[in-house]
């Protein structure tokens, strides 16, 4: 009886020690993909910005570069988005261009593994993504 209780305790302990599941990568969109809804692209940009933050905190520079490239692509798709909310329509071309520019700066800072420039670029990217929010 005590052996099975001990074995059960070990199994529960080991199950509790499992590492959390890795975050699923955000796949790149095909370049010839049709225009996507604004809300879907906004969600995608938020996830990519969040992934970039996480990669930065743990010094995963290649993951950070991938997230920045994904943000650059999302910015290009945003300029052609469908179902854009009225308050965002007028400003969308400028905001998507700004996001693309800041994502490019983030990618370059990550390539150089420059912590200060990467941090500054991440702040600007997050601000750009915030400005795209649905009101």
Cβ distance 73 to 118 under 8 Å?
A: no
**Which of 132, 134, 135 has its CA nearest to residue 77?**
132
Q: Taking the CA of residue 74 as centre, how many other CA atoms within 13 Å lie in the half-sphere pointing to its CB?
A: 30
Q: What is the DSSP letter of 83?
A: S
| Percent of residues in the chain assigned helix, strand, coil, to nearest 5 | 70, 0, 30
pLDDT, tens digit, 9 for 90 and up, residues 45-98:
999 999 999 999 999 999 999 999 999 999 999 999 999 999 899 999 999 999
Per-domain residue ranges for the chain?
Answer: 2-131
- Overall fold of domain 2-131: 1.20.120
Quick check: 103 pLDDT over 60? Answer: yes
pTM of the model: 0.80
């Amino acid at each position: 009886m005590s052996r099975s209780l001990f074995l059960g305790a070990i199994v529960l302990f080991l199950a509790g020690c499992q590492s959390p599941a890795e975050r699923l990568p955000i796949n790149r969109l095909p370049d010839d993909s049709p225009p996507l809804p604004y809300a879907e692209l906004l969600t995608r940009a938020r996830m990519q910005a969040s992934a970039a933050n996480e990669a930065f905190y743990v010094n995963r520079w290649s993951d950070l570069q991938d997230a920045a490239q994904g943000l650059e692509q999302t910015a290009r798709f945003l300029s052609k988005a469908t179902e854009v909310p009225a308050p965002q329509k007028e400003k969308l071309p400028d905001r998507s261009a700004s996001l693309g520019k800041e994502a490019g700066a983030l990618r370059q800072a990550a390539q150089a593994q420059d912590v200060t420039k990467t941090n500054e670029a991440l702040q600007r990217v997050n601000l750009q993504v915030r400005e795209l929010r649905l009101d």
